[in-house]
Chain A
């Protein structure tokens, strides 16, 4: 199993540009989530999904959209990038009844200038 994969690994955007961070898992996990991590801070939950077609907001959802059309994929869209969205983004997945034991991807390092 590849586990949780994220693309790209690095990305630089200009303010106002949009882009999609990709996340995929091959473990047939129902639960998937997106976190952001800023320097010196813990991870903050952006959005999560408990299954295909179901998404919900986390702690810091503003400026981000998600959709879940398949079990495997959970893309995160930045609608109009802002410097405050410069961060490292982690995608995670787990069984729906074991959200406490999440598998994390390697992260995407995003810089918005």
Chain B
């Protein structure tokens, strides 16, 4: 799996868009980009994933650069409940169940009232 680099912490004003960057310059062609978040003391929660196209779901949007070396998770209208640690991961998908998710230290996002 490619190594990912994220800023250790970020602040965002409530109601504004939170943009969380992730660098994955060694990503392979068959590796997807995933984002999870972990709200204090809870288990991580899957947010979104993508390969090379931009993706959007009810929680967030994922923008992947054309060269796939970096991506940005966007929370369009951040609320206080979005305060959490956000993890960016990369892994190749398989049907065999042998891939392993590697969680780094993530970005601690604080939403400020």
Contacts and interface: CB of A to CB of B under 8 A. Distances in A.
B11 interface: no
Contact of A107 (B41, B94, B99): B41
B44 A104 contact: yes
The binding surface of chain B is classed by DSSP as: loop
A61 interface: no
Interface stretch (B62-70, B75-83, B101-109): B101-109
Contacts of B91: 99-100
Given A59-B102, A100-B91, 18 more contacts: A30-B97, A42-B104, A44-B103, A48-B100, A92-B43, A92-B44, A96-B95, A97-B94, A97-B97, A98-B93, A99-B98, A99-B100, A100-B32, A100-B93, A101-B46, A101-B49, A102-B46, A102-B101
Contacts of B44: 43, 90, 92, 102, 104
A35 B94 CA distance: 21
Interface string B4-44: 00000000000000000000000000001010000001111
A40 B43 contact: no
Contacts of B100: 45, 48, 58-59, 99
Given A41-B105, A42-B104, A45-B101, A104 B95 contact: no
Contacts of A98: 93
Contacts of B96: 50, 96
Given A48-B100, A50-B97, A104 B105 contact: no
Contacts of A50: 96-98
Given A40-B105, A42-B103, A48-B100, A100 B49 contact: yes
